[in-house]
Structure 1
Amino acid sequence: MEDRSLFSDPAQSSWPSFPAPRPRLDALAQALERITELEHTARAGEHQHTEMKRRLDRIERQLGVLLADRLEERSDLPGARHGEHQTLARRFRTLIEQDFVTFARRFADRCDHVLDWPAAERSARLIGILSERLFARSLPSKQHLVRQLRLADHAGHAEAAIADLYNRCTDLAARIHEAGLHHSWDFTATIGDHVDPARQDAWPRCDSRAPISFVMAPAYLVDGHIYSPQIVYTRP
């Protein structure tokens, strides 16, 4: 008699069945869709950040004009130009605390100048180096600054970021020059001394009671008066 077991109904076969790969493909498609959504969200966030900075710059300029008008009306104050410098001092502080910090966090681990320091203070060290270069009496060229910083850069991202910082600093310098009066950047600090509250601020992550390790950003002086205190890094 012919054995027909090999030709029996597949539904009744004893061969094991395997799940279709469809769920795995669906999960992959969902993951790719989620990645695309996140990319769109990131681009939208970057655009919003740019627009907010533009609005902030415009508000600062308007505030400077209003403050200058009010100061001009008062006889007990040195004049409108000091009001302009107060606005510029706030802009300088924002440049350090936002733009310099963003750059340093992104590129500190690529900078030869700071790699020998503990990882926790590399960003602060790079901010200090940027300040020394960009607020020096003689500003280097953009190309020379790129060479000075010695950042590992394979796709040009670091060079573009340096150029952006450079342009912001030169724009600030031009506005300070237009405001008139004598201004200067004060990097003077005694390493190992304690913070002088009258002329220095400790970096927020640092203990203000600990001795000064290095200067992160200079004081902004106008006619010998401090409009923005020096920022120092302290370490026990």
Structure 2
Amino acid sequence: MIIPAPGTPDFGRTSPEDPVNGLARRLTLLERDHKALLRDHERLRLRVDELEEAHAWAGPRPDGAGQGNNLHHLIAREFVVLVEQRVQNLARAAARGQPSQDPPEALHRRIGAICRVLFGTAEPSPSALLSAVHRSRLDPLASAAARLCERAQEMRRQRESSVMPASWDFAFTAGAPLDGTWQEPWPSCPAERPGRFVVAPAYLVAEQVYAKQRVHTG
């Protein structure tokens, strides 16, 4: 076997110190470090979000506004969930034909009609809610309608218990572009199209938007 003299390149194998291999190893390490930084950044972002939320939900300030603010955040969150789940489920159940064949606009109009009964100016009642979706007071949906009205009444009482003025805002101009500061399209509706009708009202507290108004566009 021929042993290369010291300092003679061995062209029969790749040296560990080969520049190409060294660059490849360096790129691999950089990629690994980059992924680790991305993971750290995501953890930090989540932590910042938690701290900001904790700050927003901090205890009441001396003027008592903090306690009212916390209450309205709770109401706004529950309101959004109520509309997206229970109100929408009732609107789907009230469809006359097959739910799968229910046009989106018809569904959105029923959701809007239910929201007006629950959060409009008049006191909500099961009979008014069923009438809004064209059902009789003896309809099998009557029990679900009654439960929805009870929850809406409780949310209204909670709102009125605060010193901060709050309201569900249905104000709307048909055919106008959406104002992103307090309006957004209902999911599946294109944001670039003008608004046609309100699906769910905004929840405003001391002129601040706690839940945006959601609109059917087209």
Please give the range of the TM-score, normalised by the shorter of the 2 chains: 0.5 to 0.7
Structure 2 CA distance for aligned equivalents of residues 152 and 178 of structure 1: 34
After TM superposition, give the deviation of residue 196 of structure 1 in Å: 1.0
Q: 1:173 aligns with which of 137, 148, 156?
A: 156
CA distance in 2 between counterparts of 1:149 and 1:120 reads: 15
RMSD of aligned residue pairs (Cα, Å): 2.6
CA contact (8 A) 1:67 1:80 kept: no
Give the 3-state SS of the residue equivalent to 2:96 in structure 1. Answer: helix
For 1:147 and 1:119, the matched residues in 2 are separated by 20
Give me the whole-angstrom Cα distance separating, in 2, the residues matched to 1:137 and 1:176.
14
Counterpart position of 1:204: 187
Name the counterpart of 2:72.
85
Q: Which moved more, 1:139-148 or 1:177-186?
A: 139-148
- Bigger CA drift: 138-147 or 96-105? 138-147
Partner residue, 1:72 = 60
* 1:127 alignment partner, one of 69, 87, 111: 111
For residue 188 of structure 1, report the CA deviation from its aligned partner.
1.1
Displacement of 1:71: 3.9
Q: Deviations over 1:7-41 (max 9, x none)?
A: xxxxxxxxxxxxxxxxxxxxxxxxxxxxxxxxxxx
SS of the residue corresponding to residue 179 of structure 1 reads coil
The superposition leaves residues 107-137 of structure 1 with CA deviations (integer Å, 9 ceiling, x where unpaired) of: 1327xxxxxxx72321111001011111112
Detail structure 1 runs of 4+ shifted over 6 Å in the superposition.
Answer: 66-69
- Residue type matched to 1:129 in 2? A
Q: Structure 1's 151 and 101: CA in aligned 2 closer, same or farther, altered over 3 A?
A: same
TM-score normalised to the size of structure 2?
Answer: 0.65
Which residue, out of 214, 224, 231, partners 2:197? 214
SS, match of residue 142 in structure 2: helix
**Distance apart, 1:208 and its partner CA:** 0.6
* Greater share of helix: 1
Displacement of 1:106 in angstroms is: 1.2
Structure 1 position 73, deviation (Å): 5.4
User: Do the aligned partners of 2:91 and 2:133 also contact (CA within 8 Å) in 1?
Assistant: no
Deviation at 1:79, TM superposition (A): 2.1
**SS in structure 2 at match of 1:197:** coil
Mapped to 1, the partners of 2:94 and 2:150 lie a distance apart of 18
1:107/1:151 contact within 8 Å kept: yes
Shift of 1:173: 1.2
- Going from structure 1 to structure 2, the CA distance change for 1:164 and 1:79 (only over 3 Å counts) comes to same
2:109 alignment partner AA = R
Q: Work out the CA distance in 2 between the residues paired with 1:99 and 1:128.
A: 13
Extract unaligned runs of 5+ from structure 1.
1-65, 111-117
The correspondence of residues 138-217 of structure 1 with structure 2, limited to 5 A, is 138-151=122-135, 156-217=139-200
Describe the superposition over 1:91-113 as per-residue Cα deviations: whole angstroms up to 9, x where unpaired: 11111111111111111327xxx
Count of aligned pairs between the two proteins: 161
User: What percentage of aligned pairs have identical amino acids?
Assistant: 30
Q: TM-score, normalised by structure 1?
A: 0.61
